[in-house]
């Protein structure tokens, strides 16, 4: 059963939550879902920034229905309150995009020298967060017999990338495990693993030489962008992907040829 009369590739009218949506790729995904007619809850720990992001998307996309939501994805009570707010506003949750995460060298160190406190922080946000958010949306999804959970992983899961890579490889395994458990509820669980993306976060954390090396490492000789990723995310959020679950999709311009 689905909650809306849908053409196979449509997200029109779907209720979508995007975590980590105050800026960067999360904000871009939220905006593109809004353009495609979805009702979008932008969720982020930065209350002021996510409220601003939602307000700007609403102004930029005429007729859109979006709202900014404050959430700490490491806290089950915070997540429960966020989901309850979405259900109160729109009646259900159709799609969850687990995008919130810690990326980059907040504490530069090889994995063998990573502080336990930093290891715990990254796993709390990147791995426990998606699990807690998934658990929180299961009631409305099970009730309607349909749901989409899309975890944002990384090609870093398959490369030496410290605790970040550990968390993302764990997310891929969790994606498969949850898909196996939830399939009979009409809920699919998949992951999208982006390759090198040209955005503010990448440029602020990579020196130019590393940036150019990443470009040369792709088959297409260019960095990706949010639109490149959204095509796969949008597909997985539609009824067209009804028989696709438990998969991790590398969307990386062919960078895996160099991995």
Q: Crossing angle for the helix pair 162-182 and 116-123, nearest 10 degrees?
A: 30
Identify the CATH number of the domain in which residue 125 sits: 3.40.50.720
Quote the mean pLDDT of the chain: 92
Domain assignment present for 109: yes
Among 164, 230, 235, 255, which one carries the catalytic annotation?
164
Domain assignment present for 119: yes
Pairing of strands 147-152, 39-44: unpaired
Tokens for 185, please give them. 């509820």
Contact between 128 and 72 (Cβ < 8 Å): no
Domain assignment present for 215: no
Domain assignment present for 175: yes
Domain assignment present for 1: no
Which of 166, 141, 142 minimizes the C-alpha distance to 156?
Answer: 166
Tokens for 241, please give them. 């992907």
Reply yes or no on whether 164 is catalytic.
Answer: yes
Beta-ladder partners of 224: 197
Domain assignment present for 138: yes
Domain assignment present for 42: yes
Q: Which long-range contacts (CB under 8 A, 24 or more apart) does 201-208 make?
A: 201/24, 201/103, 201/104, 205/103, 205/104, 205/105
pLDDT of 196-235, one tens digit each? 887 777 766 677 877 788 888 888 888 878 898 999 999 9
Q: What is the pLDDT of residue 214?
A: 80
The H-or-E segment that residue 193 falls in is strand 187-194
Domain assignment present for 163: yes
- Tell me which residue range forms the domain holding 121: 15-196+225-252
Beta-ladder partners of 148: 95, 188
pTM (whole model) above 0.85: yes
Q: How many domains does the chain have?
A: 1
% of the chain beyond a pLDDT of 90: 75
Tokens for 139, please give them. 């009631």
């Amino acid at each position: 059963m689905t909650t809306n009369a849908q053409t196979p590739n449509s997200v029109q009218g779907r209720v979508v939550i995007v975590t980590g949506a105050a800026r960067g790729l999360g904000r871009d995904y939220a905006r593109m879902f809004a353009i495609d007619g979805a009702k979008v809850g932008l969720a982020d720990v930065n209350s002021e920034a996510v409220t601003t992001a939602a307000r700007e998307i609403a102004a930029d996309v005429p007729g859109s229905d979006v709202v900014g939501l404050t959430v700490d994805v490491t806290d089950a009570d915070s997540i429960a309150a966020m989901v309850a707010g979405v259900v109160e506003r729109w009646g259900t949750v159709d799609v969850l995009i687990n995008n919130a995460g810690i990326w980059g060298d907040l504490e530069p160190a090889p994995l063998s020298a990573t502080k336990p406190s930093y290891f715990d922080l990254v796993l709390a946000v990147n791995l426990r967060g998606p699990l807690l958010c998934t658990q929180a949306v299961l009631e409305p999804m099970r009730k309607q017999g349909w749901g989409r959970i899309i975890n944002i992983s990384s090609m870093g899961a398959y490369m030496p990338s410290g605790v970040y890579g550990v968390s993302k490889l764990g997310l891929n395994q969790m994606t498969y495990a949850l898909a196996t458990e939830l399939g009979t509820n009409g809920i699919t669980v998949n992951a999208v693993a982006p390759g090198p993306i040209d955005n503010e976060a990448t440029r602020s954390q990579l020196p130019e030489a590393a940036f150019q090396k990443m470009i040369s490492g792709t088959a297409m000789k260019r960095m990706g962008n949010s639109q490149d990723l959204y095509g796969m995310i949008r597909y997985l959020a539609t009824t067209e992907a009804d028989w696709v679950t438990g998969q991790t999709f590398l969307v990386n311009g062919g960078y895996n040829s160099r991995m």
